A and B are shown apart, each in its own frame.
Chain A
């Protein structure tokens, strides 16, 4: 072999090495940093944060198991035996709801909301703010805090005992998770700490959120929505002063009520169309079970006492319910303009909160005026002439009855039963299935639902006594 050949080989080798060197350098990193798919996003911009918060399938869902356990409806035996385990047991307030089955949406979805909110809150700490983006930053921070507080409150209303300020410091509350890190251990905070956290979140949100209600994006909270939620929470813990104040704050700025006489076709499946202007914040029950499928469930029949409490001129009966047999009615499409039962915040609830708080404060006239405002929008025009009420007690009774009638299947009945029984109203729940009676006595431990078994197993937190 001569030297020429040698030389050409070395030259070729060096070219190859050079090419290999290119692959090893910085362009190699750029080459390999390409996203595998354009639809894969890293949540690190405010645009993506908003998109996460706008995921209504996650963020605007409320747990429905409380409504399943409440007394606004009844089931035939045949329907009941076909229910899935959780709803089957919840209907008869069985001590063990899950029979070992995990993945309980009533727990999992609110905590998924907490995870999304925490992801956004942590992400926001990495965003530099200036005058151009401060408003958006504030709104996102407010939305995340609001959603997290709503989720914590929904969990506390099902999986923790009814709030009692005397023992709250030592009563077990709920897991308060403030980080998106899924390796962080889950622990139960005290009742006091749980409520302090969620109320603080909400008060902070109230200051950050925009004052205008976003009527075209009602899945997003606003300052009135935060105040409405505060009113709901304060009412649920028996703080009627603050509940009344916050309900009033909202109604001072926005007090719209829809006149049901303006509904074009009260007999249609979904009489109330989307973007109902009473709504301050959209949320609904998931369609994961059978009971709360609205118009889709023909076996979920409206409690007869509730049904007959509506006066003949009360338009709410045809708007809310539809007759399927001579003696049975079922639920129709909801307040949110869909088949999903509505569980969000609306002005009608605030009228009733303010009325109740005024009645409890002895302001009977003001309380009844709130009730009148509401009912004149619910009855056929000119037919509602006011209730003949003289005493404070009578006023409170009437308001609570109207509260149940107006807010039926809105996810509030279970919370009201817990609250009112704690005050001594002594409401007993009864079921009867093929002649077998079931009862839920007031203030029973069964009013606090068991934590799902997979949560107990994987986190080791304390189970509720049943």
Chain B
């Protein structure tokens, strides 16, 4: 070895190294002279001069006699025969070298059994005898072994992946009992799955987090991604996501795109997962790996910009007896707390209604020919003032309503305790040449919302076959998921007045004020119309809105070992999923009744129904098909004397085609599954208000296509086990629309290195046996498929006034369209003390999103006002720290893990600025501002309330030089184009976050709890919005009770006075208050996320146990806040929604 022809480096790159050219091609001729050389020197010479390797036990070689000889052009055998003559050992020629072994003596047979730490028999443990290479066996399924050796006083070596090596000397005539300890030092042997290869943790230079099976099973629930919440650093689960702002549910290490896809790539086994993540049964998952930086992620190229989550499913094991595992759990969840969201009391609300009534506020609505609904109180007030009721009768009825609250009814009829049941069963094992994993799972989830259910069946079968002496490996994997989601309960009533009632004392549905006004409904149509009342409870009873999902995945993989260290691999995956959502709204539902009534035509007493009688079916069907092919070569061998080289390279093709269809049928008869034709073309006068409308047309069809061709390579070179260099590169091409072929592709890649200082000879910190430094630098990518190089148009969803199909131009042509690039520089260090009692990982990274898709202003005279192109940059800086501690005190063990992450993003380049301050408060759009985090909270300067009027006071055009002016002209502030009026209050996402998890073990008991914290961010809390209150859009806010009422109140409150109703004046006043500093709160919080208690019983301890192993577990989730910074009573994770109720799960898991 060690001799390389000039051509070899080239071949090396191709994965074609010829490692033993001499022995293979021609017999060696030896010319050598030794004079009284020690036997070991003779062996060294043979190796160095003729490349002959040897295996020998050192003390044996030292017993050898010195040798003297001289040969010329002799064969190896001739030389060996001379030198081994008279030695206390003999030799054997083996492939590539010689094996030196003592003379056979009396043989000895040892029998024994091997167990793991939990006293479970361990199969497939290799048992070797030092110095006797021939004596090597593996334990059987019961962990038993029998080995014979010629060695006297043999030393047995027990080894198995994932277990610490053990050396023991057997006692003559006694059976051995051996216990192997699982490897604790995760860094040394944990296997990391990148989706392209499985690599040992120690040979990773990049930033990788892994979540092992134990951690995955810690939580209970049907969703796999939830299992990584709070257990990995740098990964943040976002809350309070605003629709329309392109915020992702999961952020890995901050944000590095603006308008493009913000979600991490989810890989299942080898390929990106295209289906619904809920299709994956967590019980089928072995581990999850998170690739966080360019060194780890750039192998995924243009898909890797937001980080990669690799899910690895379970597989069988070779030479393992069939093993059946059964897991079941029941989770109960409390009802949500409907009283969490602050609303005005019925009494206050009615007072406001009376006030508005006396101001004449409702007159335009009441007298309008549109007949829009007014609340019962307002109608009573009108009846009273128009003399339609006996005196004092209205007041009595109104006073009765003051005592009503809509929440008890909602709680009783719309909500229930949640109940989730989960069962899974799997069978795994393997023979000498095959392994299998078969599983079935069933989940049934009765949500908190009555009538909303979810059930899921998952089936999975994975098989591997090892053929041609293990040279050929074939894997097949079939996964099928079928689920039904019933979504009949919208969770609310569509009305906001707090005294609404959904049912009477007997549980009969009651109408509420919605749509058209009660007095009009009662008289309209003279009996020719359908009932026009809206009864929320009846809606719930009549809803029929299921979504059925079917998804299957077929994987086929083959590995062929061309020769040792060189494998060719081929992968193919086919995925197909379809979802069908037939929403049937029968004639009993309000939607259908209202539509039929609205279009009813009255021609001189003759009634006709352009929207036909019968139900309405709106069916949305969508499906996707994905095909993935990958061809890859893997090369693993030593390079130079103490170096190891690992190379992979390959190409892949990915094609994801999607399709969705919407179908609407009127007059639908579910029995016959047919509808009735309607006139979509003509306009029909609306029965209630005289406007003319067409019948809504909702039939659509859309196809999407995502295609990639990619080439990739990855190489790691390890030298002396302590220096490591990694290179990875990938080129992706995709069907970016209209982009020139040479711009369709993007080359991305990364370089990395690591240095395990603790292996250096000069390293003397014995207390810290592991110290490693890592660095990576490279590019990940992201793609925005909505932009195009051509002028493109889109068909508008609605036909124009005259019924014609029409189109809009989306973007002017953008010939320079490029992919987004994310430059990531990562520094990391890993350390651990002896026995891994204390250890951790610290990482610092700099992430820069370059060429991000953003908006730039364009002279509107061109016909476009902004241009979408690669014009923006974002910079992230962050730190991930993970510390762990493992302690034992007798039978008591305590593992503790502290996670700390810091990440701050800043928009460093953005060409467009909104025209007014007000634009930065709009909640449904993403409004980047240069120099600020992408998601920021801004506010307007607050100067308190006016002493005379209780109107809020604002501040206009202040600066460092001038104090600005106090003003009550709110529009002048809101519509100011001077952004110095906008105060940055902080980021929406916490820049500091993490968790502290403690796992405690005592005998068979385990207790684990996780405390999460988020710091350094702010949010805007809700308060009274008079415009919304007056309009009936919101039920008001109890801040109303703290409003300014008399001069002097401004000293104790910030809540503005009740204004005289005037939309144009009230709206700016409300908007100013709502967006002022007065309502900004700190988000900082600490919460107890969950607690798990386990109890394990093993057969080794209880021989009569029907199962090998039994585990009982109790898991409590969403336990709540321990500490929060704000005093406004707001859970910062649930600013405007009801917090997730607590859940408690009880489960049992058994293996047979």
Chain A positions near chain B (C-beta within 8 angstroms): 1, 5, 8-9, 12, 16, 19-20, 23, 28-29, 31-43, 48, 50-52, 54-58, 60, 78-85, 88, 99-104, 107-108, 111-116, 118-119, 175, 177, 180, 182, 184, 186, 216-219, 265, 268-270, 273-274, 282, 290, 298-299, 324, 333, 337-339, 452, 454-455, 458-459, 461
Please state if B692 and A55 are interface contacts (CB–CB under 8 Å): no
Contact sample, A vs B, 18 pairs, CB 8 Å cutoff: A1-B20, A9-B566, A12-B560, A23-B653, A31-B655, A32-B744, A41-B807, A43-B807, A52-B809, A55-B796, A81-B969, A85-B971, A100-B915, A115-B809, A269-B369, A274-B683, A274-B692, A458-B857
CA distance A455 to B802 in the complex (A): 33
Chain B hits for A40, CB < 8 A: 737, 788, 792-794, 810
Number of interface residues of B (CB under 8 A): 83
Please state if A101 and B975 are interface contacts (CB–CB under 8 Å): yes
Chain B hits for A43, CB < 8 A: 791-793, 807, 809
Which residue of chain B has the shortest Cβ distance to A99 in the bound complex? B977
CA distance A83 to B1063 in the complex (A): 10
CA distance A26 to B709 in the complex (A): 13
Closest 3 pairs between A and B when the two form their complex, measured CB to CB = A115-B863, A82-B1064, A100-B977
**Of A112, A217, A274, A338, which contacts B804 at CB under 8 A?**
A217
**Of A39, A101, A108, which contacts B865 at CB under 8 A?**
A108
> Would A35 and B915 be within 8 Å (CB), given that A103-B865, A107-B860, A270-B690 are in contact?
no
Please state if A458 and B858 are interface contacts (CB–CB under 8 Å): yes
Chain B hits for A60, CB < 8 A: 801
- Per-position 1/0 for B682-694, Cβ under 8 A of A: 0101000111100
A264, chain B: closest CB distance, angstroms: 10
**Of B689, B736, B1063, which contacts A36 at CB under 8 A?**
B736
Query: Is B704 an interface residue, CB under 8 A from the partner?
Result: yes
Please state if B703 and A37 are interface contacts (CB–CB under 8 Å): yes
Query: Is B364 an interface residue, CB under 8 A from the partner?
Result: yes
> Would A51 and B793 be within 8 Å (CB), given that A82-B1062, A269-B689 are in contact?
yes
Chain B hits for A290, CB < 8 A: 1064
The residues in B between 769 and 807 inclusive whose CB is less than 8 angstroms from any CB of A are 785, 788, 790-796, 800-807
Please state if B860 and A111 are interface contacts (CB–CB under 8 Å): yes
Please state if A182 and B705 are interface contacts (CB–CB under 8 Å): no
B1061, chain A: closest CB distance, angstroms: 10
**Of B655, B807, B971, which contacts A55 at CB under 8 A?**
B807
Please state if B860 and A56 are interface contacts (CB–CB under 8 Å): no
Query: Is B211 an interface residue, CB under 8 A from the partner?
Result: no
Query: Is B733 an interface residue, CB under 8 A from the partner?
Result: yes
CA distance A40 to B971 in the complex (A): 40
**Of B631, B738, B806, B915, which contacts A20 at CB under 8 A?**
B631
Chain A hits for B803, CB < 8 A: 216
Please state if B563 and A1 are interface contacts (CB–CB under 8 Å): yes
- Other than the given A36-B706, A88-B971, A269-B369, 8 more pairs (CB < 8 A) read A42-B792, A54-B805, A57-B808, A84-B975, A85-B971, A269-B370, A299-B1064, A333-B691
> Would A337 and B692 be within 8 Å (CB), given that A9-B563, A41-B807 are in contact?
yes
Please state if B863 and A180 are interface contacts (CB–CB under 8 Å): yes
CA distance A412 to B52 in the complex (A): 102
- Per-position 1/0 for B669-699, Cβ under 8 A of A: 0000000000000010100011110000000
CA distance A58 to B1064 in the complex (A): 28
CA distance A118 to B916 in the complex (A): 31
Please state if B859 and A186 are interface contacts (CB–CB under 8 Å): yes
Please state if A56 and B801 are interface contacts (CB–CB under 8 Å): yes
Chain A hits for B794, CB < 8 A: 39-41
Chain A hits for B706, CB < 8 A: 36
Chain A hits for B738, CB < 8 A: 42
B925, chain A: closest CB distance, angstroms: 14
Chain B positions near chain A (C-beta within 8 angstroms): 18, 20, 24, 364, 369-370, 560, 562-563, 566, 568, 631, 633, 651, 653, 655, 683, 685, 689-692, 701-707, 709, 733-738, 741, 744, 785, 788, 790-796, 800-810, 812, 857-865, 867, 915-916, 969, 971, 975-978, 1062-1065, 1067-1068
Please state if B861 and A99 are interface contacts (CB–CB under 8 Å): no
Please state if B975 and A81 are interface contacts (CB–CB under 8 Å): no
CA distance A69 to B692 in the complex (A): 30
Please state if B702 and A32 are interface contacts (CB–CB under 8 Å): no
Chain B hits for A35, CB < 8 A: 705, 735, 737
Please state if A82 and B702 are interface contacts (CB–CB under 8 Å): no
**Of A58, A107, A269, which contacts B690 at CB under 8 A?**
A269
Please state if B796 and A118 are interface contacts (CB–CB under 8 Å): no
B427, chain A: closest CB distance, angstroms: 35
CA distance A217 to B794 in the complex (A): 21
CA distance A60 to B18 in the complex (A): 75
**Of B631, B707, B801, B858, which contacts A31 at CB under 8 A?**
B707
Please state if B568 and A16 are interface contacts (CB–CB under 8 Å): yes
**Of A38, A101, A339, which contacts B702 at CB under 8 A?**
A38
Chain B hits for A36, CB < 8 A: 704-706, 735-737, 785
Chain B hits for A12, CB < 8 A: 560, 562, 568
**Of A84, A180, A269, which contacts B691 at CB under 8 A?**
A269
**Of B563, B791, B860, which contacts A42 at CB under 8 A?**
B791
Please state if B863 and A9 are interface contacts (CB–CB under 8 Å): no
Please state if A182 and B864 are interface contacts (CB–CB under 8 Å): yes
CA distance A38 to B703 in the complex (A): 5
Please state if A282 and B971 are interface contacts (CB–CB under 8 Å): no
A460, chain B: closest CB distance, angstroms: 9
Most B Cβ at <10 Å: residue of A81, A324, A339, A461:
A81
Which residue of chain A has the shortest Cβ distance to B744 in the bound complex? A32
Please state if A115 and B800 are interface contacts (CB–CB under 8 Å): no
B361, chain A: closest CB distance, angstroms: 11
Please state if B802 and A218 are interface contacts (CB–CB under 8 Å): yes
**Of A9, A118, A274, A324, which contacts B562 at CB under 8 A?**
A9
> Would A265 and B709 be within 8 Å (CB), given that A41-B792, A41-B807, A54-B804 are in contact?
no
A45, chain B: closest CB distance, angstroms: 11
Chain B hits for A180, CB < 8 A: 791, 812, 863
CA distance A333 to B791 in the complex (A): 37
B467, chain A: closest CB distance, angstroms: 14
Please state if B861 and A42 are interface contacts (CB–CB under 8 Å): no
Which residue of chain A has the shortest Cβ distance to B709 in the bound complex? A23
CA distance A78 to B568 in the complex (A): 79
**Of A39, A116, A282, which contacts B809 at CB under 8 A?**
A116
A177, chain B: closest CB distance, angstroms: 6
Chain A hits for B703, CB < 8 A: 37-38
Chain B hits for A8, CB < 8 A: 562
Which residue of chain A has the shortest Cβ distance to B1068 in the bound complex? A82
CA distance A461 to B859 in the complex (A): 11
Please state if B563 and A51 are interface contacts (CB–CB under 8 Å): no
Which residue of chain B has the shortest Cβ distance to A37 in the bound complex? B704
CA distance A37 to B915 in the complex (A): 32
Chain A hits for B800, CB < 8 A: 54-57, 219
Chain A hits for B788, CB < 8 A: 40
CA distance A84 to B1067 in the complex (A): 11
A35, chain B: closest CB distance, angstroms: 6
CA distance A330 to B1021 in the complex (A): 39
Which residue of chain B has the shortest Cβ distance to A118 in the bound complex? B863
A326, chain B: closest CB distance, angstroms: 12
Most A Cβ at <10 Å: residue of B631, B802, B804:
B802
Please state if A83 and B1064 are interface contacts (CB–CB under 8 Å): yes
CA distance A220 to B125 in the complex (A): 83
A225, chain B: closest CB distance, angstroms: 14
Chain A hits for B796, CB < 8 A: 55, 57
Please state if A455 and B791 are interface contacts (CB–CB under 8 Å): no
Chain B hits for A455, CB < 8 A: 859-861
Most B Cβ at <10 Å: residue of A41, A184, A458, A459:
A41
B679, chain A: closest CB distance, angstroms: 14
Chain B hits for A33, CB < 8 A: 735
Chain B hits for A339, CB < 8 A: 691
Please state if A103 and B705 are interface contacts (CB–CB under 8 Å): no
**Of B631, B916, B1065, which contacts A101 at CB under 8 A?**
B916
